Amino acid sequence: MALDHYVSQVHLRNFYSPELGRRMYALRKSDLRAFPCRSEDVCRIEAGSTNPYLKEPRIIEDFLTEVEPYYNASVANLRSDTIEHRTVFVISGFIAYVQTCSPAGARIFTEPLRSSLETTAQMADARGLIPPSPAQLGGKSLTTLVAEGAIKFTVDPKYPQALGVTTIMGRMSKFGNSRWEILLNEHSTSPFFYQRLPACY
């Protein structure tokens, strides 16, 4: 299976440190220790771009062929204030991709689905559409079992990712037609603005 990057390597390479050559400093979340690495070593998940809920499970990779090859030139255009149609398309596409396909994006979009599933099940239970549980669970209603924590609803993170992929063109259009505020960081020793959700980069 492919190790797919949810943050494009062309973006990550912009953070290579002059002190490290073709490497950058990364921060491990588990212990907050910095370590040197290559762009191909981080921000990747096995089969991260493969989604079984889509008719074409790796369709997002086709979308990226219109974004990644033009990313560095588009960033250069932003820096030099020579923004073109392709610049807007590529930067908007990059943000939309990270927003929908990163682990943080999956977490953000999973909770509303889980909450909706729980609410719908409880409404069906209140209308008598769900029979009582079996004797092993005390014959309790679904609503009671949820309240007691005996039943929990979970959502496969690939499902909200699939929803995001199917809306990526619309998201890209909204970003591209919105007003932008461009922040330039001229500090070469720390060339990024940190944000847990990398769609803010």
Does the structure show a pLDDT above 60 at 192?
Answer: no
Q: The whole model's pTM is what?
A: 0.77
Which range among 72-76, 90-94, 197-201 shows the weakest confidence by mean pLDDT?
Answer: 197-201
Three-class SS state of 201: coil
Task: Dump pLDDT digits (tens) for 158-186.
Answer: 999 999 999 999 999 999 999 988 877 77
Task: Dump pLDDT digits (tens) for 28-40.
Answer: 888 888 889 999 8
Three-class SS state of 18: coil
User: Whole-angstrom Cα distance, residue 147 to residue 101?
Assistant: 32
pLDDT of 52 reads 95
User: Whole-angstrom Cα distance, residue 45 to residue 77?
Assistant: 30
Q: What is the 8-class DSSP label of residue 134?
A: P
C-alpha 162: how far from chain center: 11
pLDDT of 73 reads 95
Average pLDDT over residues 124-129: 93
